[in-house]
Amino acid sequence: MESINQIQDQIIEDFSMFEDWNDKYEYIIESGKALKPLDEQYKNEENIIKGCQSKVWLIAYMKDDNLYFEADSDAIITKGIISLLVRVYSGHKPKEIYENDLYFINNIGLKEHLSPNRANGLISMVKQMKMYAFSYDQVK
């Protein structure tokens, strides 16, 4: 299994192949389309990430001492963004997740190319994933 940083480095490398942001947005959208749809039973208020302009649902569960995430969104760009975060964090130890420095976002220039509302939503997504990780780490 690749480390969180190896996955981030792979995403950075993937993004470096594109010259302009239209192509990068297309990559983000395609990432979202590849995300396994979240079962409808989880699309409820309890699983909505607060602070996102569009609806983003996130669930987390432990399996073999690793934390896994599933997510979905009603907006294509947002779904693509959460799919990248799921790709980076899913399948790792909770402590690795909440202690990790998520550098790929700044490295690919994503935050600067999002509206202020979407940038706040991105921060909320990362915060929620790290809170899940911290909570699961405390329970074990």
CB atoms within 10 A of CB 34: 11
CA distances from 92 to 64, 99, 120 (A): 10, 12, 25
The residue annotated as part of the active site, out of 7, 49, 52, 125, is 52
> How far apart, in whole angstroms, are the C-alpha atoms of residue 17 and residue 124?
28
52 is catalytic: yes
- DSSP letter, residue 93: -
User: For every residue of 57-68, which 3-state class applies, written as one string?
Assistant: EEEEEEECCEEE
Of 135, 139, 108, nearest to 122 (Cα)?
Answer: 108
- What torsion, rounded to 10 degrees, do the Cα atoms 124, 94, 97, 86 define? -60
Catalytic residue numbers, as ranges:
52
